[in-house]
Amino acid sequence: MDLKEGLEQAMRAEIEGRELYRIASEQSADEKAKEAFAYLSREEDSHFEALQRLYGSYLEGERMRVETLPRLIDFSDAESPIFSETFKKQLAGKHWEMSVLSIAMRLERDSVLFYRRLADESEVFTARALSEGGTDPGELKKFFLELAEWESSHLDSLQREIVFLQDTYWEENNFAPF
């Protein structure tokens, strides 16, 4: 894979995450979840825009300017970063919401692995560009590692949310044999 292909794949993944979280925000009946998913959508969009600018610079043969991205969301509620306690008490039939969490976890896990791979390959990507006064591979590597860390924090929050809801969800929907 070359840098162009890597950036294209990364942009597609950010769009997928943005759209999943946007729809989840629009469809959720839980106000806390609406807000959390909206923040996640905006954060994925900010990642997409930064990648898009990097991609444009690469295509133009310009020095790729690695940006520092602002963090838009802080999951301060360690037990339930997305849904409210009220939502947890009404989990019967909430299959869509649980599916969103599961799908989002897969997207975030894939993103973490992909950004780590891009970070590992960043020196190869930028070797030619460096000889022409281009981007420092260390900057590019740091950028991809930062994205991996952010996606990892999203993944951790989603996992905490599933742990918070799972037993009640199984019980309310008669999935558990007890």
Is 121 within 8 Å of 6 (Cβ atoms)? Answer: yes
Between CA 116 and CA 110 the distance in angstroms is 10
Q: What percent of the chain has pLDDT over 90?
A: 59
Q: Is the pLDDT of residue 76 over 70?
A: no
Alpha-carbon distance of 45 to 86, in angstroms, equals: 29
Residue 160 φ/ψ, nearest 5 degrees: -60, -40
Residue type, 50: A
Given a cut of 60, is residue 28 above it in pLDDT?
A: yes
How do residues 104-133 score in pLDDT, each as one tens digit?
A: 999 999 999 999 999 998 877 766 554 445
Give the other-Cβ count within 10 Å of 124's Cβ: 12
The mean of the pLDDT values for the chain is 86
Spatial CA neighbour of 92 closest among 25, 174, 34, 31: 174
Q: pTM (2 decimals)? A: 0.86
Residue 136 carries which side chain, given as an amino acid letter?
D
Which of 25-39, 72-86, 136-150 bottoms out in mean pLDDT, i.e. has the lowest? 72-86
The angle at the Cα of 161, spanning 159 to 162, to the nearest 5 degrees, equals 65
The H-assigned helical ranges of the chain are: 3-27, 31-60, 85-88, 95-131, 137-172
Length in residues, the chain: 178
Phi, psi at residue 79, to the nearest 5°?
A: -80, -45
Rounded Cα distance between 92 and 104, Å, is: 21
- Label residue 144 by pLDDT band (50, 70, 90): very high
The residue among 176 and 136 whose pLDDT is bigger is 136
Sketch the domain layout of the chain as residue ranges: 3-65+91-172
Q: Is the dihedral of CA 106, 49, 137, 149 positive or negative?
A: negative
Give the CATH fold of the 3-65+91-172 domain.
Answer: Ferritin (1.20.1260)
Burial class (CB in 10 A: 0-12, 13-18, 19+), 139: middle
Q: Which pLDDT tens digit goes with each residue over 33-73?
A: 999 999 999 999 999 999 999 899 888 877 777 777 666 55
pLDDT of residue 80: 81
